[in-house]
Structure 1
Amino acid sequence: MTEPAQLISDMGRKARSAFSILTGVSDAQKSAALTAAARQLRAHQDSILAANQRDMASARDRDLTDAMLDRLMIDADRLEAIAAAVEHVAVLPDPVGQVIDRTERPNGLVMERVRVPLGVIGIIYESRPNVTADAAALALRSGNAVILRGGSEAIQSNGAIHAAMVAGVVEAGLPADAIQLVQTTDRAAVGAMLKAAGLIDIIIPRGGKSLVKRVQDEARVPVLAHLDGICHSYIGKDADPDKALAIAVNAKMRRTGICGAMETLLIDQDYPAPGALVRALLESGCEVRGDDSILELDERIVPAEASDWDTEYLAPVLSVAMVNGVDEALDHIADHGSHHTDVIVTEDSAMAEKFILRADSAIVMHNTSSQFADGGEFGLGAEIGISTGRLHARGPVALEGLTTYKWVVRGTGQVRA
């Protein structure tokens, strides 16, 4: 077997060659390749679902959590959603070649900033086999070559999805090496990707805190990532009780294992119906861990520990605190949040605008559920992840986030004095 460092080096060179070809590929060709890939995903349904069943059986033997099993599982409906997402990316506007801005200098030179692909993208992810299709589709549509390294728990599923995607790409006449999958579970392959400067242009990790921290600590190439999804919802004193209840339950319980799930609920001390909020969450199957004021609302509430305010549960567990106004809510979020997604529920528009202005998060929401923190819900098609950094891309990263720009200067013979 090829050593991981040599394997990644070989894959990087192949990806660089494929990227060179992609720079000359038309928008119509990229779109046709993804349409064919979606068709192949559906055609390979039996093999993909069988591969996923093998992964699920292995995961149960390893006692993976229910949240991890939910992320790993593919059924016919989820596979159809994966194929539909690839089709949606196929018809999105191509960002490559878009003119961001244009100016004409006094000497007649015309300056343009034009979107171009990033190059070769390395994506390291866990659990979710749909990322294999989403990442491949977004990378190809934006003119990038991609090297995918999924988690060992999804090795069979990822391989089957990758095979279907490549079949579609090749059917459309594009290079198979545009979408490559690292098919070894050796963790040294991750280290090799992180050190592949000159072959890989950017690394995007998508997974748990330990994975993302390792990538950020060890990478010798740029990283686009978020470490935690500690999302807050603040129920203001003027919140509509019906909206507040529906939003809180949905934000926590619709899917507890996604990064946009609410992990902390902040309730204004002057909100008139805190007990109803907490009871609704408890009755939906959520464990509530509260501060002293919240503990008084229901005997089923568990005392919160200091660590709870800094925990991404990814499970039906929620920390709840009572706060004195929007400023205290914002201070709590600043101290304990992860700059992912934070929500205010209020009918006071001035309070909402204050929260939106001051909350230092990649996504800030008013009167809606944090579960909408998803590229598809933003109209971006599939997403490659949520970025909580401040450079390059922020929030859901989709096609535009996988491009950079170059300056194009057009003259008519000007020379500089």
Structure 2
Amino acid sequence: MSARRLLPWPLVALFTAGYLASYLLPTTVGRLDTGLPLTATQAGAIGSALLLSSAAAGFLLASRVDRFGPRTLARLGLALTFLGYGAAALTGVVPAVVAGAVVGGFGSGTVTVVAASGIAALGAPPARAESRAWGRDPHRATTLGLLAVSALAGALYLTIPHLGPGHGLPLAALALTALAVWPFTPRLSARTAPARTAAAHGRLPQRRAGLLLAAAMPCWSLAQNALWGVSGRIGLAQAHLTEVTVGAVFAVALGAGLLGVLGAGALGLRLGRAVPIGAGTALIAACIAVTASATDLPAFAAGEISWNLFYPVVLSYVIGLAASLDRRGRWAVFVGSAASLGGAAGPLTGSVLAGSAGFPLMGQVLAAALLVVAAPMTAVALRAGRRILPVVEVPLESPAMPARPAYDTASPNSYASTSAM
């Protein structure tokens, strides 16, 4: 079987289109208050509205992927992403930009739901003989998706500053990415939905662990996006760098993220999930404090590069942990949506904290918050590592209809590496 058939290109493409908006957040928010009559806080609020809309899509659609089908939802999400961001890029009217960002954010969230559910479904037992060739490791699949989105975001950070000013360029990049991903949607099978089973419609497994992780993720994600949303302004205003230099730092930082993702994929679960999540979150807290207090290029670059090295690594293990709690992917989607909900408040929180207390104190507050939530997240990882989720399927309709993973593709694919809103 060829390498191409062993890679999950449809879900990797969807993962890239869904997550790209959060990766481009610094340049998107930074250009809103320079290209439009907005204050920094108002620009941060628009960024928060975009992410909040994305989180809303996750909560609304988390349990409905089987009902509508992955192909239908993916196409709906990509269409909304293209139309929303595209419209926002083409207008200078603030209300229209806000509306476009919200519509595009909902589209990004819809695409992310399809990708997250499909990746989580890799852990399900294969229903057909050829399915056994599929990669069934959600962690490795997430790593591959993070590699793709990090590489694309890094290329855009190097390119956008040279294309001219204005708020439309990063939004146009998001719209065009959605358009480019559309050809992958036919490979998401719409032939049949998985059989209804007791496991599918019963109570969520490992509810305590899932709820604790979902409760911790908003704060974890808020801290990340609060810094990420104002990182461009830290580089420009506090470190006194040019936009080209800041973009180059971001590109190098995302390149470091690629190395972190590759390292996480190679390491796998040899250390379990508790050590990467707990120790990694503590390291991220230190990086945030360094970045927020940077006053020159070396400090700013060191903080951003180190932070982007560790962030996708920890996120990959968190996504894998959520996927391990329920093989149908419901906890993966709920935890991802909770992270998006917290992340939605990030740009506004970062803008408000920076405006009232300054960047260094903002960094200290965010670092302290991360250290607090590291404890329950590590506890969930330790608990999940000692439990194996039982596989119980009782057909409720026809015993002749086999239960299948939520995501079949037109040809047997398998997923390789993953990592990092």
Shorter-chain TM range is under 0.3
Normalising by structure 2, we get a TM-score of: 0.26
Normalising by structure 1, we get a TM-score of: 0.27
Compare the two structures and name the one with the higher helix fraction.
Answer: 2
Compare the two structures and name the one with the higher strand fraction.
Answer: 1
